[in-house]
Structure 1
Amino acid sequence: MGLPRKLKMMDLFNDGNSYLGQTGEVTIPKLVRKFEDWRGGGMNGNVKIDLGLGDDATEFNWKLGGIDSLILEQWGAATVAANMLRFAGSYQRDDTGETTAVEIVVRGRHEEIDFGNQKAGDDTETSVKTIWSYYKLSIDGVEKILIDIPNMIERVNGVDLLEKHKANIGH
């Protein structure tokens, strides 16, 4: 029997600027695929046809204590990959002491900046929803998943799932 790897420490970087001690919470983006039912003639049941990434797959939600001027300066960015966020997490198994580094890099722009309730003497935080067009997940420095929507790349364990499709359309 083994114990799970649990997050022990983390940091969030916004365009290279560390939020160590300021990041309250990070909701790591879900990996979501869009499946549609298909039941063709002669089939005795449905299968789910894979149509690529799910419509809500590109959200990265995070919270900071207080208020931060950098995210305000980034508001209204013109391009889909204007801002880079990097989550760095250190996970540990309590049975072996083994640590694992997890890094998630996204490039996108902020869709929502929510300042929440402001009351003197109470905890205040800013919630940000960043919509990404680029996503990379690495574990112990090894790339596991890379998704670059504008450049038509979806790599899993080093294999680009879109490579043959791109070749079929002349890219």
Structure 2
Amino acid sequence: MNYAALLRGKDVFVEGIGFIGKVGDIELPKISFKQADVNNMKIDTGVLEPMEAKLTLNELNDILWTAVSKRLKDMPTFVVKASAVSDGVETSIYVEMSGWVSESENPVKNVGDAIEVTLNINVQTYRLEIDGKEKYGIDIPNYICKIDGVDTYETLRKHIM
């Protein structure tokens, strides 16, 4: 399927609470692997770089501060649901991630401006499904890194766990 599509709608859920119609910008985690320089060549280490995400919501809701307050082993969960259309075919997009909020930007700016709460998330688990098919299934604490069904950390897990 061609994913050059128009995003028709999106919603964000923070700890199960939806913000439909109040979702601003969404930046999903970038998947990047560390590269080592060896003899003037880049060698893939297979090690993921830290993942970050950013969510901007146009509502003041106590659940946002609950998410910010979770620390150590208690991580908040964020879900993004979206719909895209290409050539008349609608495709569902589902993202689930958990991680600690590393930064929250002040929602109060200038008089007359829209209220925006921006959360920067240090992502620990990340799942992306397109049209019901898992594209990413990453769980850093448990050494799982599935990309399009292939777990690139499977051998590593067997060796160290």
TM-score of the alignment, normalized to the shorter chain, above 0.5: yes
Aligned residues: CA RMSD: 1.9
- 1:71 matched to 2:59? The reply is no
Report what 1:42 is aligned to.
none
Which whole-Å deviations, capped at 9, do the CAs of 1:74-127 have from their partners, x for residues lacking one? 22312356111011110111xx21111111110112111112543332222111
Partner letter of residue 75 of structure 2?
Answer: A
Distance apart, 1:150 and its partner CA? 0.4
* Residue pair 1:114, 1:127 contacting (<8 A) in 2 also: yes
Partner letter of residue 48 of structure 2?
Answer: L
- 1:87 matched to 2:80? The reply is yes
- 1:54 matched to 2:54? The reply is no
Report what 1:100 is aligned to.
91
SS in 2 for 1:150: helix
Which whole-Å deviations, capped at 9, do the CAs of 1:40-83 have from their partners, x for residues lacking one? xxxxx51323241114xx11101111422211122231235611
Partner letter of residue 126 of structure 1?
Answer: V
Residues of 1 paired with 2:110 and 2:59: CA distance?
Answer: 11
Structure 1: which 5+ runs fail to align? 40-44
SS in 1 for 2:136: strand
Moved more, 74-83 or 126-135: 74-83
Partner letter of residue 132 of structure 1?
Answer: V
Distance apart, 1:3 and its partner CA? 8.4
Specify whether residues 81 and 52 from structure 1 end up closer, same or farther in structure 2 by C-alpha distance, changes over 3 A only: farther
Report what 1:30 is aligned to.
30
Partner letter of residue 49 of structure 1?
Answer: D
Task: Select which of 86, 100, 104 maps to 1:109.
Answer: 100
Report what 1:166 is aligned to.
157
Residues of 2 paired with 1:3 and 1:103: CA distance?
Answer: 14
Residues of 2 paired with 1:152 and 1:65: CA distance?
Answer: 35
Report what 1:152 is aligned to.
143
Distance apart, 1:17 and its partner CA? 0.9
SS in 2 for 1:24: strand
Q: Displaced runs of 4+ in structure 1, greater than 6 A? A: none
- 1:126 matched to 2:117? The reply is yes
Compute the TM-score of the two structures, normalised by the length of structure 2. 0.89
The structure with more radius of gyration:
1
SS in 2 for 1:71: helix
* Residue pair 1:67, 1:115 contacting (<8 A) in 2 also: no
Compute the TM-score of the two structures, normalised by the length of structure 1. 0.84
Residues of 2 paired with 1:69 and 1:168: CA distance?
Answer: 43
